Amino acid sequence: DAKTTQPPSMDCAEGRAANLPCNHSTISGNEYVYWYRQIHSQGPQYIIHGLKNNETNEMASLIITEDRKSSTLILPHATLRDTAVYYCIVRVESKLTFGTGTRLQVTL
Amino acid sequence: DGGITQSPKYLFRKEGQNVTLSCEQNLNHDAMYWYRQDPGQGLRLIYYSQIVNDFQKGDIAEGYSVSREKKESFPLTVTSAQKNPTAFYLCASSIFWQGGANVLTFGAGSRLTVL
C-alpha cells in the first residue's frame, strides 16, 4: 500500500506562499496523488490531483518530483481562510486512505 | 445544486441504542463511502460501495452496517456492538473507479454523541 508522510503542522504569513510537502516514497506507477483540505468540523474539500506532471488550478499548484516519491502543494497567496488541515492522499485500490495531514495556520 | 446531504447534523443517543445516519447524493455517482473521524485524527474508512446492492468493509467496519438499495442513498447504522461510537461521520461519493483519477465529494458530516 502506498502511504504518505506529512509534517503535523506549519505556519504561514498571510499573503505569502504556503508550501506543504508530502512524501509518498512507495507510490506505484499508476497511482495519483490527491490533496484535500478540511476546515474545522466540515467535510474535506478537494483541491487538486496529479500523476506525473505538475498541475495548477484556481486553488493551488501541485509539484511532483520526477521520481514521484514526493510532492508539494503550493498555495500562492495564503489568506486566513486557508487555515485548515491539508491531506495528501494516494489511492489504495478503489478507496482513498487519509492520514492525519498537516495543520496549516495562516497568521497576520 | 448537486451535492451530498447528510442528516442529522448532530445526534445524541444513549449507550446501547442503534443509530442510523443518512447520506443522500444527487451527483449521479456510482460509488459511496463512509468515514469516521475522531478529534485531532485523520479519516478512517468504515464501508464503501462501488455499485448498488454491493459494498465492502473498510478499515474499521466492526460495529457498523450499511445498505445500498438505491444509487442515491447509502445509510450507515452504528450498532450497539460499536464500543466507542462517539465521533464525526463523513459520507462521500465518486464516479465508478476503473483506474485513473477518482475525486471524492464529501458531505458536511454528522456528529454522533453517545451519552
Contact B103 A46 (CB under 8 A): yes
Residue in A45, A91, A99 closest to B42 by CB: A99
User: Taking CB atoms and an 8 Å cutoff, what residues of chain A touch B44?
Assistant: 98
Confidence label for A93 from pLDDT (cuts 50, 70 and 90): low
Strand partners, A95: A92
Query: Which residue from B30, B29, B37, B33 is spatially nearest to B47, judged by alpha carbons?
Result: B33
Give the model confidence (pLDDT) of A14-24 as tens digits: 999 999 999 99
Query: Which residue from B108, B17, B101, B14 is spatially nearest to A44, judged by alpha carbons?
Result: B108
Tell me if B28 sits within 8 A of B115, measured CB to CB: no
Amino acid at A71: S
* For residue A94, pLDDT beyond 70: no
Give the model confidence (pLDDT) of B19-67 as tens digits: 999 999 999 999 999 999 998 888 999 999 999 999 999 999 999 999 9
Which pLDDT belongs to residue A101?
A: 93
**What are the grid coordinates assigned to B90, written together?**
463523513
* For residue A97, pLDDT beyond 80: no
Q: Which of B43, B54, B103 to mutate to test binding with chain A, by most A CBs within 10 Å of its CB?
A: B43
* For residue A78, pLDDT beyond 80: yes
DSSP A14-35: TTSPEEEEEE-TT--TTPPEEE
Question: Which of B93 and B101 is assigned the larger pLDDT?
Answer: B93
* For residue A49, pLDDT beyond 70: yes
Sequence-ordered list of residues with C-beta below 8 angstroms from that of B18, at least 6 positions apart, any chain:
B77, B78, B79, B80
Query: Which residue from B12, B79, B23, B26 is spatially nearest to B48, judged by alpha carbons?
Result: B23
Segment B9-16 shows an average pLDDT of: 92
User: Taking CB atoms and an 8 Å cutoff, what residues of chain B touch A59?
Assistant: none
Confidence label for B1 from pLDDT (cuts 50, 70 and 90): low
Q: Which of A37, A59, A87, A98 to mutate to test binding with chain B, by most B CBs within 10 Å of its CB?
A: A98
Segment B1-11 shows an average pLDDT of: 91
**What are the grid coordinates assigned to A87, written together?**
491531506
Query: Which residue from A46, A48, A28 is spatially nearest to A37, judged by alpha carbons?
Result: A46
Which pLDDT belongs to residue B107?
A: 97
